[in-house]
Amino acid sequence: MTYRILTINPGSTSTKIAIFENETNVFQKNIKHSVEELSKFDSIASQYEFRKHKVLEVLKENHQEINKIDCIVGRGGLLKPITSGIYEVNEDMIHDLHNPPMGEHACNLGGLIASDIAKMLKGVNAYIADPVVVDELEEVARISGHPKFKRVSIFHALNQKAVARRYAKEKNRKYEDCNLIVAHLGGGVSVGAHKKGKVIDVNNALDGEGPFSPERAGTLPVGQLAKLCFSGEYKLAEVKQMITGKGGFAAYLGTNDALEVEKKAETDPYFSLISNAMAYQIAKSIGEMAVVLDGKVDVIILTGGIAYDEKFCAYIEEKTKFIAPIKRYPGEDEMQALAMNGLRIMNKETENLIYKK
């Protein structure tokens, strides 16, 4: 059968929507929201009615009949830690998306918008898939070094899981039978150890842990960080910005545009040094995850926008090729990943999970 699947992916100033007929993208639109429009709302959660109407408006303008939709999949949000999978949006989830336990983010709106539109249609369910709070860490990986601090799993779960399954399918294997290291290279960087279908260790990319990225500082020297925090020169919000938002490339080079860095690194030694330093740190993290997997690694996967940079990826490959071969899946096709999860549900390849607050 052919199923029409609507996918919804809210970002800070835009809402991406797409319609798939099984695996084929037949319609996609990036709906921009101005600062003036969004400034009217006192929280991200309160934007969802406004954004929902924009989605419906754009679908109507482009002659996309919503009564022909079979399934809706929204981007998952900062819910409580959950296992990987596809979750039907229920009342418990709606409550937590309005009152997110892990903090506010535009991705929290995905499930809310999907649920509201699904309620307008007969026999159509709304889902989220592999949100950033997927937590499959082994207990030993949660230990930080002090009982007041606990390592947390927040990473690019949707894309990491999607490319891992894609690789397994290409090799005529099950994801659950593979050992993989997946490095998502984007505005944030996450490096995960996938052991037999579970991400048993990964850096917290939201808080800037791990390698630095175009806008995150990565793991910093903690003694120096503690002194800076108590120097009286910076407020908490300013320190947080140093760690996430104005760290990494943004701090060293004055830009978070990885493509700009790639081009300038060809002629500017300092840009080249900082770019190589980021690749160096990613390679180190891949090495750490190889240890987590006891050295039994089928492949190292590089994905995300920066995976288009051949020279950057070649640096990582040179450092890590002794561990396992490298496979690149450049880009981050979140809409495709959401749709494929919806299709798995429609084809009854898997069952949806139940979220409980």
Instruction: Summarize pLDDT for 172-189 with one digit per residue, the tens.
Output: 999 999 999 999 999 899
Q: Which pLDDT belongs to residue 17?
A: 97
Q: Are residues 200 and 109 in the same domain?
A: no
Residue 288 has pLDDT above 80, yes or no: yes
φ, ψ dihedrals at 141, nearest 5°: -75, -15
Q: Are residues 166 and 97 in the same domain?
A: no
Q: What is the CA angle 64-162-198, rounded to 5?
A: 140
Q: Are residues 208 and 74 in the same domain?
A: no
How large is the average pLDDT for residues 201-214?
92
Q: Which pLDDT belongs to residue 189?
A: 96
Tell me how far apart the alpha carbons of residues 264 and 107 are, in angstroms, rounded to a whole number: 32
84 is a domain residue: yes
185 is a domain residue: yes
Q: Are residues 169 and 314 in the same domain?
A: yes
Residue 261 has pLDDT above 90, yes or no: yes
Residue 224 has pLDDT above 80, yes or no: yes
Task: Express each pLDDT in 299-329 by its tens digit.
Answer: 999 999 999 999 999 999 999 999 999 999 9
Q: Work out the pLDDT band at 104, boundaries 50, 70, 90.
A: confident
Strand order in the sheet with 189-195: 198-202, 189-195, 179-185, 299-304, 326-330
Tell me how far apart the alpha carbons of residues 203 and 219 are, in angstroms, rounded to a whole number: 10
Residue 13 has pLDDT above 90, yes or no: no
Q: Are residues 309 and 342 in the same domain?
A: no
Task: Express each pLDDT in 52-63 by its tens digit.
Answer: 999 999 999 999
147 is a domain residue: no
Q: Which pLDDT belongs to residue 357?
A: 85
Residue 278 has pLDDT above 90, yes or no: yes
Q: What is the full DSSP assignment across 176-214?
A: GG-EEEEEEESSSEEEEEEETTEEEEE--TTTT-SS--S
φ, ψ dihedrals at 208, nearest 5°: 85, 15
Q: Work out the pLDDT band at 194, boundaries 50, 70, 90.
A: very high
242 is a domain residue: yes
Nearest to 104 by CA among 158, 45, 47, 153: 45
Range of the domain at 121: 4-135+334-346
Residue 46 has pLDDT above 80, yes or no: yes
75 is a domain residue: yes
Q: Are residues 120 and 21 in the same domain?
A: yes
Q: Are residues 122 and 168 in the same domain?
A: no
Q: Are residues 90 and 215 in the same domain?
A: no
* DSSP-derived secondary structure letter, 175: G
What is the rounded average pLDDT for all residues in the chain?
95
Q: Work out the pLDDT band at 105, boundaries 50, 70, 90.
A: confident
**Number of domains making up the chain:** 2
The helix (run of H) or strand (run of E) holding residue 273 is helix 269-292
141 is a domain residue: no
Task: Express each pLDDT in 108-157 by its tens digit.
Answer: 999 999 999 999 999 999 999 999 999 999 999 999 999 999 999 999 99
Q: Are residues 104 and 199 in the same domain?
A: no
What CATH number is associated with residue 298? 3.30.420.40
Q: Are residues 130 and 216 in the same domain?
A: no
Separation in Å, CA 92 to CA 3, 88, 191: 27, 10, 30
Residue 91 has pLDDT above 90, yes or no: yes
Nearest to 202 by CA among 164, 168, 152: 152
54 is a domain residue: yes
Tell me how far apart the alpha carbons of residues 242 and 237 are, in angstroms, rounded to a whole number: 9
Is 5 within 8 Å of 23 (Cβ atoms)?
A: no
The first and second tokens of residue 341, run together, are 């999860």
150 is a domain residue: no
Q: Which pLDDT belongs to residue 222?
A: 94
Residue 207 has pLDDT above 90, yes or no: no
E strand intervals along the chain: 4-10, 14-21, 24-32, 71-75, 86-88, 126-129, 179-185, 189-195, 198-202, 299-304, 326-330
Q: What is the full DSSP assignment across 55-87?
A: HHHHHHHTT--GGG--EEEEEP-S-S-B-SSEE
Q: Which pLDDT belongs to residue 166?
A: 94
Widest distance between CA atoms in the chain: 64
- Centre a 10 Å sphere on the Cβ of residue 185 and count the other Cβ atoms it contains: 30
Q: Are residues 35 and 16 in the same domain?
A: yes
Residues in the chain, total: 357
Q: Are residues 31 and 82 in the same domain?
A: yes
